[in-house]
A and B are shown apart, each in its own frame.
Chain A
Amino acid sequence: MEIYQIVAVGIVATVLAILVKNQKPELGIYISLVTGFIIFIFIVAKLQSVIEILNQMANKISIDDIYLSVILKIVGIAYIAEFGAQICKDAGEGVIASKIEFAGKVLIMVMAVPILVSLMDLIINMVP
């Protein structure tokens, strides 16, 4: 069970960070950063397989590929922006974190514009 490994890594890192924090507070940030990456890498492989299976399913029932890819891309952008912003917030850099969130919002908006344009096109064509 991978959840044991992940929780173990998390707890060990937390204990380490608390121990180190008294002597050198800046080391705590490095520990949390590295732990975050380790857990992320653990999970990414699993997530990849899930997404591949979903894609296969989508091909089987022959729905347009574009829907799934757009939704997944948007979720990915949101998730990665959140990940980066959290690390910055932990390190006490709230301003940088808010900038990362802003960039995430803009990129999500960029992804949404083609959908919006086609929807508007559709509505304009429908209404005589």
Chain B
Amino acid sequence: MEIIREWIMTILSIIIFVTFVEFLLPNNNHRRYINVIIGLMIMLVILRPLTGLVKGGESLAEDILQTSNQMEVMTMQNRVQTLEVNNQETITYLYKENLKSQMKNRLEKQLGYKVLDIEVEIEENNMDEFGMIKGINIVLLDEEKAQEVESNKKIKDVNVMVNVNVSLSEKNNNNVKADSILLDSGGEIIKNDFSSFYQVTEDNINISVLKNK
């Protein structure tokens, strides 16, 4: 008898409560969704004791809390995952930018070249060796040097295709290939310097000079 009394009380009070709360609802299309949810809830309240008779289940509050907690956890996991990916990308980007500016400074201040662009390829997948430099592609813009090399080797009419570096992607090299030539004499100095300083094998350092037009 007590169970039936409680059941009826719950149904009645929820219906009264909902009618009361409907005053507060804004006059827009949210009303439809809210009505659907309230309908679901009243269905749940009405059906609840029937399953209680079939099998003594735990309380509804526990059920709902469990599901909403599960959803919270999943949301948090998604957020953490996104943050981790973002962090990783930012770290790699900053590291590359710092390396580039350091290399640029080194080339410009110590060796006296003008640098147009530097591309650095680093190890990103293997976590043990994360950050090791795999390849460097340097594009210099040194007018005097470029002219010197041009006049010495008479390559004005020759379209020199230079691509020593295998590890760098083809696309990167294509950007400068047509207008650039490999620097030999000065290149050796830079290569020696860079390979001893950054621990990269000389084969993986690719230096080109943008041809003067």
- Chain A residues with a Cβ under 8 A of chain B: 47, 54, 57-58, 61-68, 70-72, 74-75, 78-79, 81-83, 101, 104-105, 108-119, 121-123, 125-126
Contacts and interface: CB of A to CB of B under 8 A. Distances in A.
A126 B6 CA distance: 21
B30 A108 contact: yes
Interface stretch (B17-25, B121-129, B143-151, B165-173): B17-25
A118 B24 contact: no
B17 A71 contact: yes
Interface in B11-61: 13-14, 17-18, 20-21, 24-26, 28-31, 33-34, 36-38, 40-41, 43-45, 47-48, 50-51, 54-55, 57, 59-61
A125 B51 CA distance: 7
Interface string B1-17: 00000100110011001
Interface of B: 6, 9-10, 13-14, 17-18, 20-21, 24-26, 28-31, 33-34, 36-38, 40-41, 43-45, 47-48, 50-51, 54-55, 57, 59-61, 63-68, 71
Given A82-B28, A115-B41, A68 B17 contact: yes
Given A113-B67, A115-B41, 16 more contacts: A47-B24, A58-B17, A64-B59, A65-B61, A67-B17, A70-B41, A71-B41, A104-B30, A108-B34, A114-B65, A114-B66, A114-B68, A116-B40, A117-B67, A125-B57, A126-B50
Contacts of A118: 44, 60, 63-64, 67
Contacts of B29: 101
22 contacts: A47-B24, A54-B17, A61-B13, A63-B9, A68-B17, A71-B41, A74-B34, A75-B24, A75-B34, A78-B28, A78-B33, A79-B25, A81-B30, A105-B33, A108-B30, A108-B37, A109-B33, A112-B33, A112-B36, A115-B41, A117-B63, A122-B48
Nearest to B57: A125
B47 A114 contact: no
A75 B41 contact: no
A66 B61 contact: yes
Given A108-B33, A113-B67, A67 B54 contact: no
